[in-house]
Structure 1
Amino acid sequence: METHDLEPGNVGTLINDHVKELLDCLQRSEDNDPNRFLPSIVEIPDSLRVLSEKSFSPREVHIGLLHHNTESKMLKERYLIKLLSRIPFPIPKEDILNSCMRKVYDSMEKIFKCYGYVQMMTYDYNEFAEMVVMDACFILEFCNKISEYDESFRGNMVLDRTIIYDLVLLENQIPFFILDHIFQCTILKFKPTTTLLECIRPLLNLLNLFQENIKTDNIPITDDDHILSVLYKCYKPQHYVKPASLTSPIHSAADLDKAGVNFKPARNPKWLLGMDVKLNRFSCCFSWWCCLPTLSMPVLYVHDFTELVLRNLIAYEQQSSQTDRYIISYACAMDMLVNTQEDVAKLIDSKVLINSMGSYEEAAKMINSICKEVSWEHSFYGEQLRMLNEYPNSCCQKNIAELRNTYCRSPLTLIALLVGIIVFVLTVVQTIYTIRSTGNN
């Protein structure tokens, strides 16, 4: 309505109408249900999607409401048939499917809430229930298939590799509680002592980006969880970690190495992504060599799908109001440590990074791209990074590092240095002895 149409008598009525409309919106958003939760399976923001479309879109199998189509229906049907064939006689397959459909119908409203009611009105309930049952059975049978292989391998399932990473995409999820319902109707019929977490653990192990094994013990599961959020909880510390602010970027890995900083794999860290800085101090004649900081850090696998997993974990952290920025802190710390392929080479030599990409340069570009369009104020590695940042700035440490890099880079140069020192000391002693002998004469 234009300004000249507003008469003094109509203003109050218009305001009351708008206030009532806003109150209605507020009432609709405030559910009195004590089990109310925010949508946990949401669309990726355009600001993140434009950076890497391939990191957020399923390639081979489409799961859930946001990416549902018929392209992968035949694949899902094969897995459904295989799963049903595992259920022992004489349980009728029809009864199993009826139980699954009933579970979905009873949870229909709750399932839609996980997607924020996106596209709710475009689905027939029968079609939607069938889709959820088929998706859940596919995931469960796929996890069964993985468990039949030797779990010690990593990345050798060439045929199913794409599917593995399709199942970690934020937009390609189904709620964990409905997966558990279907699990109870199917898997428990032939594996009565197992749990859903034990069933999907082989998949989580394949999705794991780090050498240290993930642990699913004591992970709290809620109604808004899904496979991606469970993987996130495996990386999340089980105890409180205090964040700290960073006043400036830290030096790169290559620069820290030149300053005398050592890198080594973390052994039995307090949490899977934990980093720690220790100063090795020894009161000996070579304390200048031993008083060097060591950064212990998790061993990261860098491969073609590392970016995909990190980006979806970061997107999950950003969209959820109940998560802290643990993955973002780790990704940003790696971004600061790695600037060039020289930094990648240093981390590989230190055995804290395992690179399966085409080149060191590709690995560096991937690590540097992860934190674009990502907001963060504090880091859970703030104290450790601050200690690393202060160390190379010391004039004394610069001189020590220069001596170390010049003379102690390898065992041969160190031996040559020690021999030189011994020869020098013997020469000085011989000179003093000669002078004293001449004086006595």
Structure 2
Amino acid sequence: MAETQALNDGPGNSEWRSDRKIRRVPGALLREKRNHNEYIPKVVSIGPYHHGNPELSFGESFKSLALEVVALKVEGKQVDTYLKVIKKEITEIRNCYEEGSTDGYDDDELARMMLLDACFIAAHMMAMDSDNDSKRIFDLLLYRHSSLSISIALRDICLVENQIPFWIVELLLSKFYTPENQEKVLNRYLTILLFVKFYSAKRTSPREYGKPLHLLEHLYMALANDIHEPKETRWSHVNCCFSVKERTNVDLESGECCQGISRFTSCLKKLRVLVCKCRLFKKAKGDLKILGHSFRSLTELKAKGIHLKPSRTRSLLDVKFKYNFMYAELQLPTLCTSLDTKTLFLNMMCYELDPETLSSGVVISYINLMKLLIVKPEDVKELREKNILLGFRGSDEEIVKMYQDFDTHEADNPSIYKDVKDRIQAHYNSKTKTWKAELIHTYFRNPWTFITLLVATCLLVLTALQTVYTMKF
């Protein structure tokens, strides 16, 4: 009874009702012949844009099986209940798509289309869960259809034009999972789809915009959303030590002690302001020198003493540049995807180019950065050796071509990687750092060259000592 009441209530959440839409791919992108097929489904249609395409008729059998998998077909009354809930929101569903794209379907047809498509997505999400029932679902899918068909179908549900409102999928999942477990199933599905294995790092969602409208938006946030990590500077650490009484057992109730600490803290704050001003002045002078970014190719950066390292997280925003006395370090997120990488990135870039999306242009900015860094096959080899590019199909030459063929249409968010690019360029321009890097690369790249240098130095010193000894005696 409670379940039926929950279904009758519908989504019951104004977060799903927004002016954002599931857009079609702009004609300017479809006219690019080399990328045209990356926006078109190959096996299955999701939503109204490609529904009824005779080339996708095989995919309809997927949906019928999915209806069986989520145990709805044997409960006709249950199916009618879901259809009733979806029909209550049919006006909002129509508003999610471009005007005129759903006019060819009456309310019953559109509601049934949404239910079948949602069952298809829900079945694949449940198949990637870790319990025994999920393994049975996966075995059933594999038994009825080949692994190739399933793989292509997974590719299709990540296309811009192949989306449905995600609350319908959640409505189905609510029959099998509590809200907490449903969130875990979703996170598992997204990360396995993107990174091949489960990745449990916490991500922040921009809740002020509401929930993601569709599955591609969920995938986008899992890959490109910002990750907020607690940052503690030296100054905040010093201030904490002297401002929170609970952190120590020292009695600070004495008037003189409190006044002394207050004066000391005030001095620290003034010193901190002065240091910040000096840093800003120094940065402003440096920005005048860096009017553009001339660095190209990871192998050239390596020759300048810049080494690669995988980032701690897999967010595309987790790109950092660090420098110490010996060498510099560029941290890039590891990418390992089971999807067609080109298709995924092109559809995410198409999603970002829509002005109504929640995006700040992370994927486009990341592609522009990688186009700077990946110029020749040696750059790809360097990324592979550092475990930054994993699981990519094709040769190194093909990966270089893939990145160089991405057309970002001059779109970019220069603020995203500006600090990293400026730091790389400053290091790249520094003759002292370059000389130091070349010295380390030449003589300290492996133990044998270091031993050779050490032996040569010892022989030179001994020869000099012998010469001095001979001249004196």
Both structures adopt the same fold (TM-score exceeding 0.5) = yes
Percentage of identical aligned residues: 26
Report the residue type matching 1:53 in the other structure: H
Q: Is the CA contact (8 Å cut-off) linking 2:335 and 2:389 kept in structure 1?
A: yes
Q: CA deviation at 1:223?
A: 5.5
> 1:206 Cα deviation (Å)?
2.8
8 Å contact from structure 1 (residues 177, 223) kept in 2: no
Cα separation, 2, equivalents of 1:355 and 1:34: 37
Q: Which residue of 1 aligns with 2:353?
A: 318
State which of 282, 295, 299 in structure 2 corresponds to 1:250.
Answer: 295
Number of matched pairs: 379
Give the drift of 1:112. Answer: 1.2
Matches within 5 A, 1:63-102: 63-69=46-52, 71=57, 72-84=59-71, 93-102=75-84
Please list the CA deviations of residues 413-433 of structure 1 after superposition, one character each: whole Å capped at 9, or x if unmatched.
Answer: 222122222222222233233
For the residues of structure 2 that align with 1:422 and 1:302, how far apart are their CA atoms? 52
Whole-Å separation in 2 of the counterparts to 1:229 and 1:246: 35
Whole-angstrom distance in 2 between the partners of 1:190 and 1:304: 27
Cα distance change on mapping 1:63 and 1:374 into 2, 3 Å:
farther
- Taking structure 2 as the reference length, the TM-score comes to 0.72
Matches within 5 A, 1:295-310: 295-301=330-336, 305-310=340-345
Distance 1:231 1:145, change over 3 A: same
Aligned residues of 2:368 and 2:408 also touching (Cα < 8 A)? no
How far, CA to CA, are the matches of 2:182 and 2:93 in structure 1? 18
Seen in structure 2, the aligned counterparts of structure 1 residues 318 and 341 have a Cα distance that, compared at 3 Å, is: same
2-structure distance, mates of 1:302, 1:180: 24
3-state SS, counterpart of residue 135 of structure 1: helix
Q: Return 5+ residue gaps in structure 1 as ranges.
A: 1-32, 151-155, 282-289
Structure 1 residues 104-253: aligned runs within 5 Å: 104-147=86-129, 148-149=134-135, 158-181=148-171, 183=172, 187-192=173-178, 195-209=181-195, 213=199, 215=201, 219=205, 220=207, 222=210, 225-234=213-222, 235-239=224-228, 247-253=292-298
Structure 1 residues 117 and 178: CA distance shift in structure 2, 3 A: farther
How far apart, in 1, do the equivalents of 2:178 and 2:212 lie? Answer: 25
Equivalent position amino acid for 2:217 in 1:
S
Secondary structure of the residue that 2:292 maps to in structure 1? coil
CA displacement 1:18-67 (0-9 Å, x = unmatched): xxxxxxxxxxxxxxx99863333111123333241232111111101212
How far residue 171 of structure 1 moved from its aligned partner, in angstroms, is 0.8
Alpha-carbon separation, structure 2, partners of 1:226 and 1:166: 14
- Using the alignment, how far apart are the partners of 1:400 and 1:347 within structure 2? 23
CA–CA separation in structure 2 for the residues paired with 1:43 and 1:35: 20
Q: Read off the aligned partner of 2:156 and give its amino acid letter.
A: D
Q: Which residue of 2 aligns with 1:380?
A: 416
- Paired amino acid for 1:226: H
User: Which whole-Å CA distance do the structure 2 matches of 1:303 and 1:133 have between them?
Assistant: 27
Asked if the contact 1:266–1:298 (Cα under 8 Å) also holds between the matched residues in 2, the reply is: yes
Q: How far has the Cα of 1:401 moved from its partner?
A: 3.0
Residues 233 and 34 of structure 1: CA distance in aligned 2, closer, same or farther (over 3 Å) = closer
Question: Is the Cα contact below 8 Å between 1:210 and 1:300 reproduced in 2?
Answer: no
More helix by share: 2
Contact 1:276–1:384 under 8 Å retained in 2: yes
| 1:8 corresponding residue in structure 2 | none
- RMSD of aligned C-alpha atoms? 3.1
Please report how far the alpha carbon of residue 294 of structure 1 lies from its aligned counterpart in structure 2 after TM superposition.
0.5
Out of 374-383 and 124-133, give the one that drifted further.
374-383
**TM-score, normalization: structure 1?**
0.77
Per mean C-alpha deviation after superposition, the further-off stretch among 252-261 and 315-324 is 315-324
Pairwise CA distance, 1:157: 5.6
Counterpart secondary structure, 1:208: helix
Alignment partners' CA distance in 2, 1:211 and 1:202: 8
CA deviations over 1:76-103 (Å, ceiling 9, x no partner): 0111012116x9xxxx712211111011
Counterpart of 2:307 in structure 1 is 262
Equivalent in the alignment of 1:364? 400
Match of 2:324 among 263, 280, 287: 280
Q: Distance in 2 between matches of 1:80 and 1:36?
A: 26
Within a 5 Å distance, the mapping from 1:20-59 to structure 2 comes to: 37-49=18-30, 50=32, 51-59=34-42
- 1:175 is displaced (CA, Å) by 0.8
Task: Look up the match of 1:404.
Answer: 440
Corresponding residue of 1:286: none
Cα distance in 1 for partners of 2:76, 2:312 equals 51
1:121-157 CA-to-partner distances (Å, cap 9, x unmatched) read: 221221111101110111111211222359xxxxx96
- The 8 Å contact of residues 214 and 272 in structure 1, kept in 2 or not, is answered as no
1:211 CA displacement:
8.0
